[in-house]
Amino acid sequence: MEPGAQAGTGRPPQTSASAAPDGLREPEGRETGNSATPGVATPGVATPGVATPAHASAGDLPTTISGEPVQPLYRPADANTDYDRDLGDPGTYPFTRGPYETMHRGRLWTMRQFAGFGTAEETNERFHYLLEHGQTGLSTAYDMPSLMGHDSDDPRSLGEVGREGVAVDTLDDMQTLFQGIPLDKISTSMTINAPAAIMLAFYVANAELQGVPPGKLAGTFQTDILKEYIAQKEWCFPIDPAMRLVTDLIEYCTKEMPLMHPVSISGYHIREAGSTAQQELAFTLADGFAYVEAGIERGLDVDDFAPRLSFFFNAHIEFFEEIAKYRAARRIWARELRDKYGAKNDRSLLMRFHTQTAGVSLTAQQPQVNIVRTAIEALAGVLGGTQSLHTNSFDEALALPTEEAVRIALRTQQVIAHETGVTRTADPLGGSYHVETLTNQMESAAYDYFKRIEALGGIVEAIKQGFPQHEIADAAFRYQQEVDAGERIVVGVNSFQLDDEQQTPTLKIDAALERKQVGRLQAVRARRDALAVEQTLTALRAAAATDQNLLYPILECARVYATEGEIVQALQDVFGTYRETPVF
């Protein structure tokens, strides 16, 4: 979902140009139908108050949406690559061209649309529907209270229960969520971070009740807490104990759950918060390195857990820059894992990632046009070699998507997969002077950031000092100013507006679902063994004060139906809470 909420806002050009016959307005001074003319667009001097796009060439600004300059032509000397050192065939070091030899010809990406709403009951029905229609993996969206570690009957949860995902308060909800679904046969992705260890415990405890041992459970827990402090801002604890919980989870999965991906290192939310592509790349990789270092410090062999780390990137609208981002990401990850962290297994070096199209690029104006944006973004993800893909629905700048909108989003992937032929050849843009140059530039921009982060004492310290947060806020503001000034065209927002927009029907979430969930939770509280809950929570508090792995005591709490909020509270009693210093 990730609704592209504050999607591209901007001042409409105050053009006096007469409206076109169909009601569309065109910006002044903009040649149309001449897009073949190469050449650097010269940005005009923006006159305050007059937001007409002031560039006369067919191009937009001569910079990417990330602010990077682009030349009108690239030649071999610009691209400057050594094939064996910098590219290699797909499936060989440094994996720039892809993690697998045959890429999408050998295996299509997974079309993984994530879903969740209301109570576990509604979402379980949706899961069954998806499985009956051929989906082989599930992806769970949690509601805001669950993401923040609040129970559904917590006063802070009022109005938020089941709205942006499913409400999961106890093991009982997890049982309902996966009722009738064989957990040893279905892989499940869980978009949960601060309370990831608790949801993993609920999941494991539920599997035990189904007779499935943890070793047979496959899937992904997002668990990427660093990007929460940087961008998504759903947290429970201060950064250091939160990092300890991530490391506990990595260690637990490494020892007990060999099929589980313990962390999905996510740039998606960093980009949605307004970062540039370069920042998304750099901060995400820096987060990834921090988890690798934490695992090694814990005493794990890097080759025992690095193969289970995966990534999650945004696919924004700046087509070639995005493809370069994915290629650079694979190359940097492989090099650093091998050379800096001493990984010897190839599977530790090859980066696999999930992609979601940019919610932030969606507009509330003329929302059908979002179908086109999403298709182009999805294509960038595919050409960049993604392993799985979520395409946003066109109405997500307005509300959670309707079924029809979700279906079109899935169909978009199917058209790319089955009609366009882009899957036949691995890394089809490899060797493009432009794309190789961009890939090199992307890589060097990331290393520039790594140096600055290092100088601050590493990414955890940098986050505490607000460095990535400030960089992102600056980038978001710069972009907004370009849109407001009419220098950067957003179709339907600051150009080509419609005078009378049709209202798009949107999905309504029944407010009664919140009461239903609160009722479910209170019924669990009434029938569970209250003494056992108190004892396990006390044991958890004691364990939190030591350095033992907390997954085991959390699992004990889960088994006796302690609530998510109670477990979080017990840990907060020891760890404290987190409060961001608000900056803008």
Partner 1 sequence: MSEATSKKIRVVVAKPGLDGHDRGAKIIARALRDAGMEVIYTGLHQTPEQIVETALQEDADAIGLSILSGAHMTLVPKVMKLLKEQDAGDIVVTVGGTIPADDIEPLKAEGVAAVFTPGAPTQDIIEFINGAVAA
* CB 25, min distance to partner 1, A: 15
H or E segment at 190?
A: strand 187-191
Token pair, residue 309, equals 């780390």
3-state secondary structure of 462: helix
Give the Cβ contact number of residue 130 at 10 Å: 16
Report the helix count and the strand count for the chain, using DSSP H and E.
22, 9
The DSSP output letter for 65 is T
Dihedral pair phi/psi, residue 221, rounded to 5°: -105, 135
CA distance 573 to 584: 31
For residues 144 and 292, which CB has a smaller minimum distance to partner 1 in the complex?
Answer: 144
Interacting residues of 191 by C-beta distance below 8 A, sequence separation 6+: 114, 139, 140, 141, 142, 165, 222
Q: Rounded to the nearest whole angstrom, what is the least distance from the CB of residue 45 to partner 1 in the complex?
A: 18
Give the DSSP H/E element, type plus range, for residue 407. Answer: helix 403-418
Give least dist CB 481 to partner 1, A. 9
Least Cα distance to 374 among 416, 418, 325 occurs for 416
SS3 386: coil
Minimum separation from the CB atom of position 263 to partner 1 (A): 19
- For residue 137, what is the enclosing H or E element? strand 137-141
Taking the least distance from each CB to partner 1, the nearer of 397 and 570 is: 397
Least Å distance, CB 473 to partner 1, is: 5
Q: Is the peptide bond before 21 cis (omega within 30 degrees of 0)?
A: no
Residue placing its CB nearer to partner 1 in the complex, 388 or 563: 563
Q: Is 364 helix (H, G, I), strand (E, B) or coil?
A: coil
Least distance (Å) between residue 427 CB and partner 1: 32
Nearer to partner 1, 233 or 541 (CB): 233
Residue closer to partner 1 (CB basis): 346 or 474: 474
Nearer to partner 1, 113 or 157 (CB): 157
Identify the CA nearest to 108 among candidates 292, 313, 381. 381
Binding site for partner 1 (CB under 8 A): 3-12, 144-145, 147-148, 150, 155-160, 163-164, 228, 231-234, 272-274, 360, 363-365, 397-400, 473, 476-477, 480, 484, 493-494, 503, 506, 508-509, 511, 579-584
Q: Kindly state the smallest distance separating residue 406's Cβ from partner 1, in Å.
A: 17
Give the shortest CB-47-to-partner 1 separation in angstroms: 14
Q: How far apart are alpha carbons 20 and 193 in whole angstroms?
A: 49
Please state the length of the chain: 584
**Closest alpha carbon to 387 in 426, 439, 428:** 426
Q: Which residues pair with 339 in a beta bridge?
A: none
227 vs 331, beta carbon nearer partner 1? 227
By CB neighbour count within 10 A (0-12 exposed, 13-18 middle, 19+ buried), where does 450 fall? middle
Among residues 11 and 424, whose Cβ is nearest to partner 1? 11
Least distance CB 175 / partner 1 (angstroms) = 25
| Cα–Cα distance for residue pair 105/425, rounded to 1 Å | 7
Work out how close the CB of 355 gets to partner 1 at its nearest, in angstroms, rounded to a whole number.
20
Which amino acid is residue 240, in one-letter code? D
- Listed residue (570, 577, 578, 575) closest to 553, CA to CA: 570
As measured in angstroms, the least distance from the Cβ of 377 to partner 1 is 17
Number of neighbours of residue 75 by Cβ within 10 angstroms: 11
DSSP class per residue in 10-62: -PPP---PPPPTTSB---TT---S-TT--SPPPPPPPPTT-------SSSS-S
Looking at the Cβ atoms of 356 and 549, the one nearer to partner 1 is 356
3-class DSSP state of 495: strand
Q: Which residues of 350-386 are buried (b: 16+ CB within 10 A; e: fewer)?
A: bbbbbbbbbbbbbbbbbbebbbebbbbbbbbbbbbbb
Nearer to partner 1, 513 or 533 (CB): 513
Beta pairing, strands 219-221 & 388-390: unpaired
In the complex, the smallest distance separating the C-beta of residue 195 from partner 1, rounded to whole angstroms, is 13
Q: Whole-number minimum distance, CB 408 to partner 1, in Å?
A: 19
Within 10 Å of residue 312's Cβ, how many Cβ atoms? 25
User: In this structure, what token pair is assigned to residue 63?
Assistant: 């910079």
Q: Which is nearer to partner 1, 425 or 506 (CB)?
A: 506
Q: Could you tell me the smallest distance in angstroms from the CB atom of residue 475 to partner 1? A: 10
Burial zone of 14 (CB within 10 Å; 0-12 exposed, 13-18 middle, 19+ buried): exposed
Q: How far is the CB of 273 from partner 1 (least distance, A)?
A: 5
Nearer to partner 1, 18 or 581 (CB): 581
Taking the least distance from each CB to partner 1, the nearer of 134 and 155 is: 155
Nearer to partner 1, 109 or 313 (CB): 313
